[in-house]
């Protein structure tokens, strides 16, 4: 089966990239499933019912998130009611929402999507490693096809978690840095890996935000309004081919597609 994972969708330009490019990508690559990180889809910060709806309408099946989860109050509606929306699983017990979900389509085995958040250079969270081990064991009673979005800053933490899960999940792809890495590979146990998928939105920017305000912030240490930039919109992510019978990855490829 063929899966496309889309890196952090930033603001209106990012949503536009999804709407304009995903239908064509679905067809060209004969995709069975599209997963996208939507944590920056609302004006660059957080996600709303409306922006999630736009992303789903564009052809995305499941939306993941990360540290910007709580930036829009409306997210509670998604956490409470949307079965196709996941948040990092390693919050304490009792926090609204789900850390994993099962995608089911006709003629395909169930696919589990698991979202985790790193702890290095990010706010405190429960242990993503221990959380991953427990949840993957539970999910494997249902399916061997498991996709993990590990939302984390440090490449070492991402590689370590993916190496720990090698042979237990189909793919681990990182998000959060908004910078696509060139280390796509398949580990010996059959787990596909990419440290970071990059971001979907305006690349004439600093990670999707207007260049000048970010420079001002660094130069003056004063708060600035970080508007979403406009120029050179790219959809970035990774294509993963997975053996339906074993759950092992057969191929992983980075993509970076321009909106023309
Ligand atoms: Fe992000
Ligand atoms: Fe993030």
User: Which pLDDT tens digit goes with each residue over 12-23?
Assistant: 999 999 999 999
Q: Give the model's confidence band at 9: pLDDT under 50 very low, under 70 low, under 90 confident, else very high.
A: very high
In the set 29, 68, 151, 203, the catalytic residue is 68
Segment 139-146 shows an average pLDDT of 98
DSSP for 145-162 reads -EEEEEE-S-HHHHHHHH
The two beta strands, 249-258 and 233-242, are antiparallel
Angle CA 99–101–106, to nearest 5: 170
Confidence of residue 259 (pLDDT cuts 50, 70, 90): very high
Active site residue 151: no
Instruction: Quote the pLDDT of residue 47.
Output: 98
| Nearest listed ligand to the Cα of residue 67 | 2
* Ligand in nearest proximity to the CA of 44: 1
What separation in Å is there between the alpha carbon of 234 and the centre of ligand 1?
15
Cα(230) to ligand 2 centroid in Å equals 20
* pLDDT category of residue 89 using cuts at 50, 70 and 90: very high
> Is this structure's pTM higher than 0.75?
yes
pLDDT of res. 33: 98
pLDDT at 164: 98
Average pLDDT, the chain: 97
Q: What is the pLDDT of residues 160-217, one digit of tens each?
A: 999 999 999 999 999 999 999 999 999 999 999 999 999 999 999 999 999 999 999 9
CA of 8 relative to ligand 1 center, distance in Å: 5
| pLDDT tens column, 34-87 | 999 999 999 999 999 999 999 999 999 999 999 999 999 999 999 999 999 999
- Look up residue 79 and give its two tokens: 């956490």
Give the pLDDT confidence score for residue 239 in this predicted structure. Answer: 98
In angstroms, the CA 225 to CA 140 distance is 44
Q: In the predicted model, what is the mean pLDDT of residues 147-164? A: 98
What distance in angstroms lies between residue 144's CA and the mean position of ligand 1's atoms?
28
Residue 230 has, within 13 A of its CA and on its CB side, a CA count of 0
pLDDT value, residue 166: 98
Mean pLDDT of all residues in 107-136: 97
Residue 37 confidence (pLDDT): 98
Nearest ligand, CA 207:
1
Q: Report CA(227)–ligand 1 centroid distance (Å).
A: 14
């Amino acid at each position: 089966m063929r899966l496309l994972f889309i890196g952090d969708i930033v603001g209106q330009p990012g949503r536009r990239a999804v709407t304009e490019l995903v239908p064509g990508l679905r067809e060209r690559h004969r995709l069975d499933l599209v997963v996208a990180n939507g944590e920056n889809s609302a004006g660059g910060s957080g996600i709303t019912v409306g922006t999630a709806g736009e992303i789903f309408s564009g052809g995305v099946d499941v939306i993941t998130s990360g540290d910007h989860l709580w930036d829009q109050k409306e997210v509670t509606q998604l956490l409470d009611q949307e079965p196709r929306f996941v948040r990092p699983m390693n919050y304490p017990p009792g926090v609204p929402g789900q850390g994993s979900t099962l995608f089911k389509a006709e003629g395909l085995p169930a696919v589990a999507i698991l979202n985790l958040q790193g702890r290095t250079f990010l706010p405190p969270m429960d242990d993503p490693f221990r959380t991953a081990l427990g949840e993957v064991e539970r999910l494997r009673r249902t399916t061997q096809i498991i996709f993990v979005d590990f939302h984390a800053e440090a490449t070492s933490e991402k590689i370590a978690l993916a190496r720990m899960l090698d042979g237990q999940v189909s793919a681990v792809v990182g998000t959060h840095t908004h910078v696509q890495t060139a280390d796509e590979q398949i580990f010996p146990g059959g787990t596909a890996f990419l440290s970071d998928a990059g971001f979907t939105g305006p690349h004439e920017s600093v990670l999707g935000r207007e260049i000048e305000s970010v420079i001002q912030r660094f130069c003056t240490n004063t708060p600035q309004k970080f508007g979403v930039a406009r120029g050179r919109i790219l959809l970035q992510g990774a294509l993963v081919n997975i053996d339906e019978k074993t759950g092992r990855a057969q191929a992983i490829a980075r993509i970076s597609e321009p909106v023309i």
